Amino acid sequence: MTQTPDHHLSVRKVAVASVIGTAVEWYDLFVFATASAIAFNKLFFPTFDPLVGTLLAFGTFASAYLARLIGAAVFGHFGDRLGRKSMLLISLSMMGAATFAIGLLPTYGSVGIWAPILLLTLRVVQGLALGGEWGGAVLMTVEHAPRGKRGFFGSWVQTGVPIGTLMANSAFLLVALLPEKDLLSWGWRIPFLASCLLVLVGLVIRSRTTETPAFQEVKQEDTQVRLPLAEVFRRYGRQVVLGGVATMSTGVAFNILVAFGLTYGTDTLGLSRGTMLTVALLSCVAAIGFIPAFGALSDRFGRKPVIIGGIVGEAVVAFPMFWLMDTKQFGLVLLGYLLLMTAFAANYGPIATFLAELFGTKVRYSGLSVSYMLSGLLGSAATPAVTTALLDATGKGSSVAWFMIGSAAVSLVCLLLLAETLRNEVHEQSDAPAAAPVQGASTTI
């Protein structure tokens, strides 16, 4: 398919729209994660001891990951049947409404047990929305992008994670300047309520994008699959599972940076909230540049070599990161964060395009979304609670470093069992399985 200058401009517009919408979704998600570490354990679970309160707050945080898997299945079904664009508008609206409502919730002191129940309910709605968001945003860019730049444009969507986290940490960096009484009274609500403005911007921008050429081909020929999820597991079950586990270490690494790291830095090392939020903020700024750079490298050298480098890097820097944090020196703590963030970016940048290229057009939304959300359930969901429990049991960051290394090893093995996808085509509709044992040649979709 010949790519014209107008088409390249259109791809950039679609990519920007996907980044903005995805950044808003991840802002909504990670503002919850930050609040879990700073305020929710005191406001919604105050009758428990501090450790249990923190674990329950992170448990509520983790509940969204099961909802994300359900959301991936539901949105994936309709995304493969009706189109990518409409699902993105619905998911963004759902996420915005749930996040705004969290900012209005009464606390445990006002309504008792209903406070954590309402919080959990809204968290589940957030999870359902994000389950449909990520896969659709990836496909809007990857299915619009020219073949030689799919890794680069697909990685733009991945920058939504550090951008959203950057916005969430910036919001809490400002409210963290408040006295603790004001922070716990009303300050924590501001980042949640402010999300409504971001959502409106995202909806306006996304409404101006066009459906992907790959799905338009399927729709014009009226060849949509009646039950995409069933077809995914019938033809691509191996790719779903291996792709999900191969992506697991990205969730472990990132949640250690943005959730556990905040708790470890403040509660264990005695650093201020402002210091740890600043460190997280600066590392996210670096990731915004690193992620598309590694995405572009995957267009030149292949998806797997770059991802493998990232996974190995996560394992290699696990101990050095905690050694640097334990110095309690701002510059060295930041260096530790940057080392892990660089490895994460190499892993995370190409992974969206890699997963998308594993599946055929007619079931790609379902396959991509379920595989990625499975990785979140296996990696991201348990990480805050597991790392908090490990630290409480051992008192040492080294226990968490071993957890990181173990996660990386499991992901690496599963990645090696999947074939390189660089040469796969996303516009063909044969829907033949796109993965093979590692020694096999790449196949087309």
Q: What is the pLDDT of residue 423?
A: 85
Instruction: Please report which helix (H) or strand (E) contains residue 227, including its range.
Output: none
Task: Give residues with Cβ within 8 angstroms of 233, minimum separation 6.
Answer: 240
Residue 25: inside a domain: yes
pLDDT tens digits in sequence order for the chain, 445 residues long: 444 444 555 788 888 888 888 888 888 877 887 787 678 778 887 766 566 566 666 666 667 778 888 999 999 999 999 989 899 899 989 988 999 999 999 988 888 888 888 888 898 898 899 888 899 999 999 999 988 899 999 999 999 989 988 888 788 778 878 888 888 889 999 999 988 888 888 888 888 888 888 888 888 888 888 899 999 999 999 999 999 999 999 999 988 887 788 888 988 898 987 888 889 889 999 999 999 999 999 999 999 999 999 999 999 999 999 999 999 999 999 999 999 999 999 999 999 999 999 999 899 999 999 999 998 888 877 787 788 888 888 888 889 999 999 999 999 999 999 999 988 877 754 444 444 443 333 332 3
Overall number of domains in the chain:
1
**Which residue segment(s) compose the domain that 248 sits in?**
5-198+209-416
Coil vs helix vs strand at 427: coil
Burial zone of 211 (CB within 10 Å; 0-12 exposed, 13-18 middle, 19+ buried): middle
Residue 171: CATH number of its domain: 1.20.1250.20
Residue 437: inside a domain: no
Q: What is the pLDDT of residue 413?
A: 97
The rounded distance, in Å, linking the Cα atoms of 371 and 406 is 20
Residues 256 and 400: beta-carbon distance below 8 Å? yes
DSSP assignment of 128-191, as one string?
A: HHHHHHHHHHHHHHHTTS-GGGHHHHHHHHHTHHHHHHHHHHHHHHHHTTS-HHHHHHTGGGHH
pTM: 0.84
DSSP assignment of 94-140, as one string?
A: HHHHHHHHHTT---HHHHTTHHHHHHHHHHHHHHHHHHHHHHHHHHH
Residue 343: inside a domain: yes
Task: Give residues with Cβ within 8 angstroms of 49, minimum separation 6.
Answer: none
The rounded distance, in Å, linking the Cα atoms of 141 and 152 is 10
Coil vs helix vs strand at 382: coil
Q: What is the pLDDT of residue 15?
A: 85
Residue 400: inside a domain: yes
Coil vs helix vs strand at 343: helix
Q: What six digits make up the tokens of 51?
A: 């450790």
CA R_g for the chain: 21
Neighbours of 210 (CB within 10 A): 12
Residue 29: inside a domain: yes
Residue 424: inside a domain: no
Q: What is the pLDDT of residue 97?
A: 92
Residue 439: inside a domain: no
Residue 177: inside a domain: yes
